[in-house]
Amino acid sequence: MCGIIGYIGDKQAQPILLNCLRRLEYRGYDSCGIAVTAGSIEVYKDAVRVEELTRVMPKLDGMAGIGHTRWATHGEPSQVNAHPHLDCSGNIAVVHNGVISNFQLLKQQLTGEGHNFISQTDTEVIPHLIEKYYDGNLEKAVETALRDIEGSYALIVLMAGEPKLVAARKDSPLIIGIGDRENIIASDVPAILDYTDRVIYLEDGDIGIITKDGIRVRRHGTKVNRKEHKISWSVDDAQKAGYEHFMLKEIHEQPKVIRDTLGEYIQAAEPVVDLAVMRGDIESVLILACGTSYHAALVGKYIMEELLRIPVRAELASEFNYCAQTLARTGAIAITQSGETADMLKAMKKLKDMGCLVLAITNVVGSSASRIANQTIYTRAGPEISVAATKSFMAQLMVLYWLMMSYSKVDARRLTDLIMGLRQLPEKVQQVLDNEDKIMEGTKHLSGYENVFFIGRGINFPIALEGALKLKEISYIHAEGCAAGELKHGPFALLSENTPVIAIVAQDNTYEAMLTNIREVKARGSPLIALAEEGDGAIGQLADSVITVPKVDAIFSPVVNTVALQLLAYYTAKHRGCPIDTPRNLAKSVTVE
């Protein structure tokens, strides 16, 4: 989940590396550092954010360098554990994203050979291995060292006196940005947008040799060609554009994201993917995802079962990887924002080995998920910088709605109504955003609590889970999402006047049951905030406060409810003074298991 960067060109490397690291901090921010060479290697690093490092560090001369912003896996955040890491001689520097699973054995062997280690990290074994195998050819030394390594990695190697960088990847993302007499290696696209919109995506097993004038890619000792891609995002897309936080900007971008995602597909004369499950060749569907994407998968289960009338399972990819099961006549959908989530990639490979057809839904063109899948649908959300997912979740929902309607088994009149409702969603979401001030006022009281329950039923049960996740990850309030009918099976024991409950009330077949659950909550003295359609008079008589959302078809209620809960979480976190875009201990792209 760390962010890594490498630069080689005609300009001073230090300011470029630091600028790129700022754009990669969503991948980790507990420490950072850079190494630059102009003969010898100079390193400056500390357990601070990039902005503070920039303010206090000395000038480092050199037109080639590497940088890193860390999400700790091995060793606490500290100056000594921060990257880059050096070999014994101080002539080889490495930055690394991933996990070296056999590092303890390697460290023991290298120590026995006279190598000295100073950090607790797994990464430090890499420069020592390269030093061990170096015989005048850096590229060959890296390739040999990687044969000893087990685990995942995206890494960049800098060596004093070498006019090149060497990069390699396995199970962690790495791109090369192509410039004019300069090239940049990075974990992700936003890092390089100030300098180029032309990229090469390295694949697992690739080793890149990068100079200021050229790029060579080798795989298992043989030269390979990797296609150049042009990035459609602009630098402005990755800026705050006047908003206080990226999260608030990305919440407000959702009407556009809905239009962009639907506009990509809804006008198509025929579906852009050919799902065997929709033709009857497959009897059931498995949807896999992690985190917020898992909540989209759960919503997708409800949509698919209603519109396609086939059995659907939604599972966490991280759990699926450790389950022994046989999947006969099952189609699989993998939902992943980054397309690089380690648990998801492992699950997708497992599915392919089982003979399943896999459809990926992802936001990143050229990502690992798109290369593993049989077919891919892109969500067109643009870059999402805040760690808490908002617009990417919305785009995932849009793809699921469109996909299921494309193969729907409902009657023509119902389908026409659904398509019309889908087209109206940007306007409906904008109405929720226009109600922002009222939602903000309601969060002043909520911010004083330390425990909150979210409850929902049916298609809005996943939205209760998503609302709780958003609140806990950015406000640090302990929040739990719960199926409303399950309160009486244990959670009632936690209800009191100090435990508010947020109830999502939809105008569907769960409505009367939700009213019963709300009465049960009120009988136990908990403050109750209801999220309900405008004009719902019954809710106003039961709840302590009501957040209203515009009327939509019940199947689309997760869309408007999600936006309201995003704003609720955002302003609660703001009242509590939390670092909204960079919550503690978290990172955007989870590239380790």
pLDDT over 90 (residue 254): yes
How does the average pLDDT of the chain come out, rounded? 90
Per-residue model confidence (pLDDT) at position 583? 87
Residue pLDDT, tens place only, 70-99: 877 777 889 999 999 999 999 999 999 888
Q: At what angle do helices 138-148 and 125-133 cross, to 10 degrees?
A: 120
Digit-coded pLDDT (tens) for 432-451: 999 999 999 878 889 999 99
In the prediction, which pLDDT does 442 show? 79
Lowest mean pLDDT among 86-95, 136-145, 359-368, 526-535: 359-368
Higher pLDDT, 171 or 591: 171
Instruction: Locate 525 and state its tokens.
Output: 């003295």
Q: Residue 77: what pLDDT?
A: 82
pLDDT the model gives residue 586? 73
The C-alpha atoms of residue 3 and residue 154 are separated, in whole angstroms, by 10
Global pTM reads 0.78
Indicate the burial class of 227 (C-beta count within 10 angstroms; 0-12, 13-18, 19 or more).
exposed
What are phi and psi for residue 543, nearest 5 degrees? -85, 155
Q: What's the whole-number mean pLDDT along residues 401-424?
A: 89
Distance CA 314, CA 342 (A): 18
If pLDDT is split at 50, 70 and 90, which confidence band does 183 have? very high
More confident residue, 242 or 458: 458
Q: How confident is the model at residue 276 (pLDDT cuts 50, 70, 90)?
A: low
pLDDT > 90 fraction of the chain, expressed in percent and rounded:
68
* CA distances (Å), origin 414, targets 399, 506, 507, 553: 19, 19, 17, 11
Question: pLDDT tens digit string along 332-346?
Answer: 999 999 888 888 999
Query: Residue 592 pLDDT more than 70?
Result: no
Task: Tell me: pLDDT of 271 over 90.
Answer: no
CB atoms within 10 A of CB 229: 16
Report pLDDT for 452: 96
Q: How far apart are CA 361 and CA 189, in angstroms?
A: 18
Mean pLDDT of 40-45: 94
Q: How far is CA 154 from CA 7, 16, 77, in A?
A: 15, 20, 20
pLDDT at 380: 86
Distance from C-alpha of 147 to C-alpha of 156, rounded to nearest angstrom: 16
Q: What value does the mean pLDDT take over residues 406-411?
A: 85
Amino acid at 582: T
The residues annotated as belonging to the active site are: 2, 588
Work out the burial of residue 100: count CB atoms within 10 Å of its CB; fewer than 13 is exposed, 13-18 middle, 19 or more buried: buried
pLDDT at position 277 over 70:
no
Q: What is the pLDDT of residue 280?
A: 53
Task: Report whether 258 contacts 398 (CB < 8 A).
Answer: yes
More confident residue, 270 or 542: 542
What mean pLDDT is predicted for residues 223-229?
Answer: 91
Q: How far apart are CA 30 and CA 73, in angstroms?
A: 11
| List of domains in the chain | 3-237 (3.60.20.10), 241-423 (3.40.50.10490), 429-580 (3.40.50.10490)
* Confidence grade of residue 55 (pLDDT, cut at 50, 70, 90): very high
pLDDT exceeds 70 at position 1:
no
pLDDT in tens, 529-558: 999 999 998 898 999 999 999 999 999 999
Q: What is the pLDDT of residue 572?
A: 96
Q: Give the pair of three-digit tokens for residue 227.
A: 């296609």
Residue 6: pLDDT over 70? yes
487-503 mean pLDDT:
90
Does residue 279 carry a pLDDT above 60? no
Residue 239 has pLDDT above 60, yes or no: yes
Residue 269's pLDDT band (boundaries 50, 70, 90)?
Answer: very low
Q: How confident is the model at residue 385 (pLDDT cuts 50, 70, 90)?
A: confident
- Whether 576 and 452 have beta carbons less than 8 Å apart is answered as no
